[in-house]
């Protein structure tokens, strides 16, 4: 795959670098905030090789790439000019979508550091339980230091990513984070000292190391104050006055109000999760697990990261990560079960590959390219994920550090007290999730269609599901009053006596042929390299485009069902022309069987 070319095409189809307000990526997705959504061509991006899918969620365009997302993003970064990342002219309204977008944008960039620290914590716990480190070992101290740093200084990491999201100076944001971790303040908390006074106001004492929400609120306030002050200070004084006033106002207000609010909110959220699971028990685990595939499809799974990190900071463990772990194993099991059902060697190999990817913790390739496409594996994944979620709740499985939920993260489930019971119970849960998803998928089988199985008798290597381009009565191609088409020399196909003036794309693909003057014929090349020709009327080329209105041009990418033409068939008939709409696959053999899918645009006869 040419990552440079793919990056250029993605940026271009998003309206160019000037239209990209913000760009980042998570484990499998490129995430873009655009200044003008109308400039984005989602259909074109979906057609690109290397793109699994595109979604617009929470005001953010998510281009699903899979494991190579980092390589593509590295090629995208040089394409973004300095204006990328600047605020758009239109302000987004406050909403749940905006909150989820902000949280996702803040946490995605810092995940590598948290994953590294979490993995090392798990390895240390596992090795310690096996007696690999002696008491007071210097090696153990060094490893603990490395593992603890990303979490202890989590406010600093969050300050950097929050500054980028809130469009404020990152060094000032880190200064606010440094204030929350200032030694005398931390020591006051550890010594259980009384709150100190600031201009007569009592400053609550909290330990903000490992905290999540206090610094996010603080940087948000910094952004507002900095922007406000910057409007009124003369240019010659901005360098000194704006930063000083911003910090003098932001840090005290953060200590007095926002940081305690964030701390109480985080503790309350963690306690709420504990209450939910203690009240509903396995029902809560099953429901969360069951709907987890849909949450991932919606692109909302990253928004749970703050909750997971807050739980670990407040409680020392988390209930949600084990369920996410089971979900990935269920996606892996469902794709594995689908592979066992497939007869096509290439499809089977691809399914096994995505199953292994999900096994390692990257579930999107399996979810989008196998499980969603074949439908029944998605059901298997939901059932398996639900069973795994219920089981982790029944067994009280906990996760003691934040890490990506894949088989390599299993060591983090070793209890810091040195016992291995928790890790064994987690192992049992993921086996149950994988096995149940695999069995359900295998028993249900795959949705059989001409485009998804090889049980088709057609000699074409890759089949297409073709819909009628127009509402009307279907006519066998042999009955068309044009010998070239009726003989099958132009390819296998069908024809329709139109009852409506709107012509729709019968397949998804690229417009390779377009009669610009007459507009009576459009050729579409599909992903499977099939060439589908839509020929409107017989001898209508002689009308030179009169009564024809086109909505596409050569080179356009269309999706099945898109409107491509509008024809005044009454006028066509009045001028003595046959209005029959002909659809043929020009690179198919005469004896190829054509199967027409039902669509809103046709009446099957």
Reduce the DSSP state of residue 62 to 3 states and report it. Answer: strand
User: Among this protein's residues, is 585 annotated catalytic?
Assistant: no
Q: What is the pLDDT of residue 285?
A: 93
Q: What is the pLDDT of residue 604?
A: 35
C-alpha Rg value of the chain to the nearest Å: 29
Smallest CA-to-CA distance from 509 within 6, 51, 48, 1 is with 48
Average pLDDT, stretch 33-43?
Answer: 88
Q: What is the pLDDT of residue 138?
A: 85
Reduce the DSSP state of residue 318 to 3 states and report it. Answer: strand
Average pLDDT, stretch 187-198?
Answer: 74
- In which order are the strands placed within the sheet that holds 521-525? 472-475, 492-498, 578-585, 531-538, 521-525, 509-514, 557-558
**596-597 and 466-467 as β-strands: parallel, antiparallel, unpaired?**
parallel
CB–CB of 226/246 below 8 Å? yes
Predicted confidence (pLDDT) at residue 88 exceeds the cutoff of 50: no
Q: Which CATH architecture has domain 466-597?
A: Distorted Sandwich (2.70)
Q: Where are the alpha helices (DSSP H) in 16-83?
A: 42-46, 69-76
Q: What is the pLDDT of residues 8-33, one digit of tens each?
A: 999 999 988 889 988 887 757 888 98
CA separation for the pair 241, 579 (Å, rounded): 75
Q: What is the pLDDT of residues 553-571, one digit of tens each?
A: 888 889 888 899 999 999 9
* CB-based contacts of 120, cutoff 8 Å, min separation 6: 143, 146, 147
CB–CB of 414/420 below 8 Å? yes
Q: What is the pLDDT of residue 94?
A: 63
What are the start and end residues of each CATH 2.70.70.10 domain in the chain?
466-597
Residue length of the chain = 605
CA separation for the pair 413, 416 (Å, rounded): 9
Predicted confidence (pLDDT) at residue 127 exceeds the cutoff of 90: no
Question: Between helices 282-297 and 320-341, what is the axis angle to 10°?
Answer: 60
Query: What is the CATH code for 3-92?
Result: 3.30.1360.60
Produce one character per residue of 393-430: b if its CB has 16 or more CB atoms within 10 Å, e if not.
bebebbbbbbbbbbbebbbbbbbbeeeeebbebbeebb
Q: How confident is residue 448, by pLDDT bands cut at 50, 70 and 90?
A: very low
What are the start and end residues of each CATH 3.30.1360.60 domain in the chain?
3-92
Predicted confidence (pLDDT) at residue 447 exceeds the cutoff of 50: yes
**Left, alpha or beta for 50 (phi > 0: left; psi -120 to 50: alpha)?**
left
Q: What is the pLDDT of residues 341-376, one digit of tens each?
A: 988 787 888 889 889 988 988 787 788 778 887 889
**Left, alpha or beta for 594 (phi > 0: left; psi -120 to 50: alpha)?**
beta
Active-site hit among 26, 326, 438, 585: 26
Q: What is the pLDDT of residues 198-254, one digit of tens each?
A: 888 888 888 898 888 899 999 999 999 999 999 999 988 999 999 999 999 999 999
Strands (E), 266-355: none
Q: What is the pLDDT of residue 396?
A: 93
Neighbours of 384 (CB within 10 A): 34
Helix/strand/coil (H/E/C) assignment for every residue in 469-538? CCCEEEECHHHCCCHHHHCCCCCEEEEEEECCCEEECCCCEEEEEECCCCCCEEEEECCCCCEEEEEEEE
Q: What is the pLDDT of residues 63-78, one digit of tens each?
A: 988 768 888 999 998 8
Window from 168-177, 241-250, 273-282, 324-333 with minimum mean pLDDT:
273-282
DSSP 369: I
Q: How confident is residue 605, by pLDDT bands cut at 50, 70 and 90?
A: very low
DSSP 235-289: GGGHHHHHHHHHHHHHHHHIIIIIHHHHHHHHHHHHHHHHHHHHHHTHHHHHHHH
Q: How confident is residue 548, by pLDDT bands cut at 50, 70 and 90?
A: very high
Q: What is the pLDDT of residues 103-114, one digit of tens each?
A: 777 887 887 888
Predicted confidence (pLDDT) at residue 180 exceeds the cutoff of 90: yes
């Amino acid at each position: 795959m040419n990552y440079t070319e793919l990056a250029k095409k993605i940026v271009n189809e998003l309206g160019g670098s000037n239209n990209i307000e913000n760009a980042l990526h998570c484990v499998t997705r490129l995430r873009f905030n655009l200044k003008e959504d109308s400039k984005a061509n989602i259909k074109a991006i979906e057609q690109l090789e290397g793109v699994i899918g595109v979604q617009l969620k929470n005001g953010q365009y998510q281009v699903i790439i899979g494991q190579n997302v980092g390589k593509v993003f590295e090629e995208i970064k040089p394409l973004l000019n300095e204006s990328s990342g600047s605020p758009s002219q239109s302000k987004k309204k406050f909403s749940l979508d905006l909150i989820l977008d902000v949280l996702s944008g803040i946490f995605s960039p810092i995940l590598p550091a948290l994953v590294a620290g979490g993995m090392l914590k798990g390895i240390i716990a596992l090795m310690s339980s096996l007696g690999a480190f002696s008491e007071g070992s210097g090696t153990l101290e060094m490893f603990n230091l490395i593992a603890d740093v990303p979490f202890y200084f989590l406010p600093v990491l969050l300050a950097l990513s929050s500054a980028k999201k809130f469009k404020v100076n990152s060094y000032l944001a880190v200064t606010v984070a440094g204030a929350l971790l200032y030694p005398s303040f931390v020591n006051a908390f550890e010594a259980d000292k009384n709150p100190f006074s600031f201009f007569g106001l009592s400053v609550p004492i909290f330990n903000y190391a490992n905290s999540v929400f206090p610094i996010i609120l603080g940087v948000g306030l910094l952004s507002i104050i900095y922007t406000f002050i910057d409007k009124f200070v003369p240019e010659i004084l901005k360098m000194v006055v704006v930063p000083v006033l911003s910090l003098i106002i932001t840090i005290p207000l953060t200590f007095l109000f926002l940081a305690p609010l964030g701390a109480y909110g985080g503790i309350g959220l963690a306690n709420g999760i504990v209450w939910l699971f203690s009240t509903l028990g396995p029902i809560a685990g099953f429901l969360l697990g069951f709907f987890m595939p849909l949450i991932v499809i919606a692109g909302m799974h990253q928004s749970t990261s703050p909750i997971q990190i807050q739980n670990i900071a407040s409680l020392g463990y988390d209930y949600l990560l084990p369920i996410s772990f089971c979900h990935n194993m269920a996606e892996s099991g469902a794709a594995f079960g689908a592979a066992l059902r497939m007869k096509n060697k290439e499809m089977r190999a691809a399914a096994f590959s995505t199953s292994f990817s999900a096994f390692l913790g990257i579930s999107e390739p399996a979810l989008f390219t196998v499980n969603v496409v074949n439908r029944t594996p998605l059901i298997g994944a939901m059932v398996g994920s639900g069973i795994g979620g219920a089981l982790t709740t029944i067994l009280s499985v906990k996760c003691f550090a934040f890490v990506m939920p894949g088989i390599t993260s299993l060591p983090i489930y070793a209890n810091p007290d040195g016992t291995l019971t928790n890790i064994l119970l987690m192992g049992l849960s993921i086996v149950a999730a994988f096995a149940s998803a695999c069995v359900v998928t295998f028993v249900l089988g795959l949705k059989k269609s001409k485009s998804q199985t090889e049980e088709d008798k057609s000699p074409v290597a890759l089949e297409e599901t073709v819909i009628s381009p127009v509402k009307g009565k279907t006519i066998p191609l042999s009955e068309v009053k044009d010998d070239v088409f009726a003989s099958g020399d132009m390819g296998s196909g069908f024809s329709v006596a139109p009852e409506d003036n709107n012509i729709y794309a019968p397949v998804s693909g690229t417009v390779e042929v377009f009669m610009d003057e007459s507009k009576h014929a459009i050729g579409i090349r599909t992903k499977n390299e099939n060439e589908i020709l839509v020929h409107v009327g017989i001898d209508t080329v002689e009308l030179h485009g009169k009564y024809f209105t086109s909505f596409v041009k050569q080179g356009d990418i269309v999706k099945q069902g898109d409107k491509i033409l509008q024809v005044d068939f009454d006028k066509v008939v009045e001028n003595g022309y046959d209005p029959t709409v002909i659809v043929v696959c020009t690179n198919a053999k005469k004896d190829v069987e054509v199967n027409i899918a039902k669509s809103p645009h046709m009446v099957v006869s």
